[in-house]
Amino acid sequence: MTAVTPGLVCSHHHLYSSLARGMPAPPKVATNFQEILDQVWWRLDTALDLEMIRWSAMLGAVEALENGTTAIVDHHESPNAIEGSLDVIAEACAEVGVRVLTTYGITDRHGADGAKRGLEENARFIRGGGPGLVGVHAAFTCTDESLEAAAGLAEDLGVGVHIHVCEGIGDTEAPKRLEGLTRDNWLLSHCVHLPTDHTLKGTILHNPMSNLNNGVGYADPARFSNPVALGTDGIGGNVLESFRLAYVMQRSVDVSVGPDPAWKWLETGWDIVPEARNDEVTWSYDPMDPWHIAFTPGIRPLDIKVDGETVLAEGKTTKVDAAEVRAKAAEQATRLHARL
């Protein structure tokens, strides 16, 4: 028995993280979220070049399709390969047949020039017709000038800003610093430590597996009046897995709740990338309803059409050879890990 749904949307991904698996252990065991950033992600992103970004995105796009995800909302950072990075990601996703709404996450961690070049990359890509938002890493790594410049650019371009907000306790100033800047089209990722009575506008992106993995706490997104959508924060492209975790984590604080709220969060992805509603995923399981999905492991897509084009047939990608993508990505991962 099979069932058909629209393509799923992963509302917060970092395609550049696909090559992180197997990376050498950091010099010292990270004991908190800031140390995880310092020792894992900020070492990894500075080592990226465009060739690594390309194969990392190809692998992430293949894995998304293999899990029924036809649209990725990506958040990218590569401080030593900024210019052209968003094109590389968009082209890689197009080659695989996955939709992407990408962004370059600006930061002042590498000085004001880095933030400026990041903003220019966003502007260049979006003005050229690329599907993107203006990206900001997070308030705690940006000056007020950079936050205002990003908000202003987004306003000029008629798009939202995609930013991490209150993921860890080091970003608790964010609600104050972003006050008055946010709009309904902004995407606010994590919001674990965002007060319930905050005044920020935008959709909150919930990434339950990442939050557990980083030990930052539970966002409890049901407490917010903002719309909520589901992401993976770079841990693959399996949105059904995010849904299952979002559901049981909500149960962990409210055992009376059913899977419908978490399913609604998954559906919010279609407000962020409405085109994914035109996609068709034929699943190995029927019925695809929240109660069944919450308790059925191993549901997988058999066939996928994106805008009428078959991109997955009998579980295999049709536009690219997935085995070849994996082999090339492994080569690039070896290069990347050697740099760390």
Which residues contact Zn ion by CB under 5 A? 233
Q: Kindly tell me which of 214 and 317 has the beta carbon lying closer to Zn ion.
A: 214
CB-based closest residue to Zn ion: 233
Q: Which residues contact 239 (CB under 8 A, 6 or more apart)?
A: 8, 9, 10, 67, 68, 69, 230, 232, 266, 269
Containing 152, the helix (H) or strand (E) segment is helix 144-157
CB of 233 to Zn ion, least distance (A): 4
d(CA 115, CA 105): 9
| Minimal distance, residue 12 CB to Zn ion, in Å | 6
Closer Cβ to Zn ion, 108 or 233, answer by number? 233
Looking at the DSSP assignment, which residues form a beta bridge with residue 73?
101
Least distance to Zn ion, CB of residue 326, Å: 24
- 272 or 293: CB nearest Zn ion: 272
End-to-end CA distance of the chain: 47
233 versus 241: smaller Cβ distance to Zn ion:
233
Sign for the CA dihedral angle at 30, 58, 326, 81 comes to negative
> With respect to Zn ion, which residue has the nearer C-beta, 69 or 317?
69
- Please identify, using beta-carbon distances, which residue of 191 and 262 lies nearer to Zn ion: 191
Shortest CB 300 distance to Zn ion, Å? 25
Q: What is the DSSP string of 85-103?
A: HHHHHHHHHHHHT-EEEB-
Least separation in angstroms between CB 68 and Zn ion: 21
Q: Which residue has the tokens 């084009």?
A: 309
In whole angstroms, give the CA distance from residue 137 to residue 147: 10
Note whether 15 and 69 are within 8 A (CB).
Answer: no
At its nearest, how many Å lie between Zn ion and the CB of residue 284?
30
Under a CB-based contact definition with an 8 Å cutoff, are residues 240 and 7 in contact?
no
